[in-house]
Structure 1
Amino acid sequence: MKEILLDRLENSDNIGFDIKRIPSNDLTDNFPTEAHRDDHYTFFLLESGSGSVLVDFQTVQVNSPSLFFVLPGQVNQPVDQDAAKGWFLGVEASLMPTQSRDALGGQLMLQQPIPLDPLQLRQFGDLLNLILEKRQAPNNDVLYRPAIHALVQAFLLEVARSYSHMTGVNSGLSRPHQLLQEFKKLLSTEIKNLKSPSAYALQLHVTESYLNEVVKKISGFTVSYWIRHEAIMEAKRLLYYSELTSKEIAYELGYDDHSYFGRIFTKEVGMPAIAFRRQYRK
């Protein structure tokens, strides 16, 4: 059975991250060129040039100077690049500060590149260069790992700050935004088990009406919409990148009645699952 490729972080000494320079002529030599999921957070700092990446069926154009990230589990694939130059940083989830994880993963819509002004570009570049220097000259003393991890986490927190400023969301201030982040996190991990707004409200210790009010006010759509959206998105991934039948995909996503899920898919996508697979594999 064909499965979606999982790209694991190159991490032979268990340091928890990987960092590389991206020269203009070597982008495809360092990273998977086929559709894949990552088991880690991926950050690209684009200093010059441009490129585009397909993330969960949406093409994202990334122009310099900017910073773009891909979340663990998102299916992504490079589309093209034009003299792209900058940095790559891959980070295990265990190294992500809670504030960064919430800020970057708490939005329901697809993330967008973060445009950088000259000062931000220099500061991010200096920090990544310092991390690379420390990484290339490892030291066995007891403080080496805490020190280099602190540098990586400083970068992650600065990314989260920049992204929060761009989106106008500060996860430390608004309880509704915190609730939205908690819902997004729960949705991504429990979509196979929880299918009703009341089930998510119960897990989040709020009433169903309050959860729906918050989610709709901030995102523009109801809780039921986002539950269907998450299930349909995962179904699309499996239809395109695996050989599972539509019936097997329904069961994989926790639907005992595959016919019912088939009707949901057709209503949301505008075509049956098998037609979607046939169209997108042309």
Structure 2
Amino acid sequence: MMPGIRSPLRIVALAVCSLFVLSGCADGNSGTGYADRQGPTVIGTDSSAESRVVAAIYREILTAAGQEVRTAKTTYASPAETAQAVVAGKIGIAPAYESTMLRALPGGQTMPGNMEATLSMALPPGIVALPPATAQRGVVIAVTEATADRHTLRSLADLGKAKGRLTLGGSASGDPGAPSTTSLKKAYGVTLTSAGTSGKADVLVLRSTDPAITRDGLVVLSDPKSVIPPEHVFPLISAPAVDATGREALARVNTPLTTGQLAALAASVKAGEAPGKAARTWLRSKGLLR
């Protein structure tokens, strides 16, 4: 590499240091304080049903692995704030989402294609992104089954087949990860008219865990050109907070925790079921907890 030119990963790493000023990244120290902590590992969460139930899954699986764990008394306002709490040493582990975390970087840094490498290089020393679950809590683009059949839609690239102009809208249209009509046209050459957050748009931008997807039998369109950034859920940890046995236990959750499973768990919590109960029932159903 030529002198004075920084790689994208190095830029991201420096940006994370700017964001997490409490991490001590500049002088090589993690700054978490977790190496000096006594007592149980503290799990943090934001207020969303998804975060609360995933945190409960982490708590149950770590407890079963012999690790002493408790849930933080503070509920954070957003996944970004929860991640900052891990870096600052206030908590030892929390559910995090790939692109949500990287979008919090100053200057809107773009990320390289290899998300695992990006997270590994970007995070301060002592903070670790464990392997992600299959589940995502990002946005998806969906259409009704009737619309899919009418225009033979299975992929975003198929939108160009539609006769007449379709509208793009939906409850997650304002999400930072939501594609715009411009980005879709650039990637797929399709022309859509923006309908804002209207739920009556022809093409809907929704959260991947939105119950309407299952309830209304919507068809989620694939995104072969990856216009929509990945939002897999993963455990963000302070390295001293979770031992090797705990990390192995957490990894067993990754395959069975799909987006559909996460959506169902979140729906149960939104309906009033305690996150811990929902987590235990699910873990037992998957043979991960006695």
TM bracket, shorter-chain basis:
under 0.3
- Which TM-score applies when normalising by structure 1? 0.24
Structure ranking higher in helix proportion: 1
Higher relative contact order (CA 8 A, sep 6+): 2
- Which TM-score applies when normalising by structure 2? 0.23
